[in-house]
Amino acid sequence: MTQMVSELRHETAGAKKTKVTVTASAASNPQGVAFNMSADYVDKGGKQDGDKLKFDAGAGPFDLSFDLDDSSGLQLAFYPTVADAIWVAVGDSCPTAAGNGNGAIGPGSASNQKLVVTNANAAAQTLTFALRFTGNAPGGGEKTYVYDPKIINGGG
């Protein structure tokens, strides 16, 4: 019983959980794929506004779990490392290189269909992030596909 109480305290004292389903479907745009997302703020503390994940001021950190639902026909998968699967930049411009938004996003884990990171939500700021996927190129071989939504942090 003591161990269970200790584990419960650890869970509630830790980061809140947000589950994000990223759906990829075939499209006639230059990238050949359209992305959208649907967020479930399991522990409350924020809301989705289109392609923006908003986190409330004073809500603390959030563990973000991105699940890929690929119906594009391109066999998309997250890059195998967190540093390659998500690039983050402070501001409204898409990141052009690997980064964690000056420490705003902490590493977690990456697999083909799932990416987990921690959003510190410590400072009121906008973060633009690029979820990066590998997939089949139309002419053969592989290519990188990118989805670039935003995080709006209310801060601590």
Rounded Cα distance, 96 and 55, in Å: 24
Q: Is CATH 3.30.70.20 correct for 16-153?
A: no
For the chain, the structural domain boundaries read 16-153
What pLDDT is recorded for position 13?
53
In three-state secondary structure terms, 5 is helix
pLDDT tens for each residue of the chain, 156 residues long: 444 433 333 343 589 999 999 999 999 998 899 999 999 999 999 999 999 999 999 999 999 999 999 999 999 999 999 999 999 999 999 999 999 999 999 999 999 999 999 999 999 999 999 999 999 998 888 999 999 999 999 997
For the entire predicted model, the pTM comes to: 0.88
Specify the pLDDT at position 128.
97
- Residues in Cβ contact with 91 at an 8 Å cutoff, skipping those fewer than 6 apart: 126, 127, 128
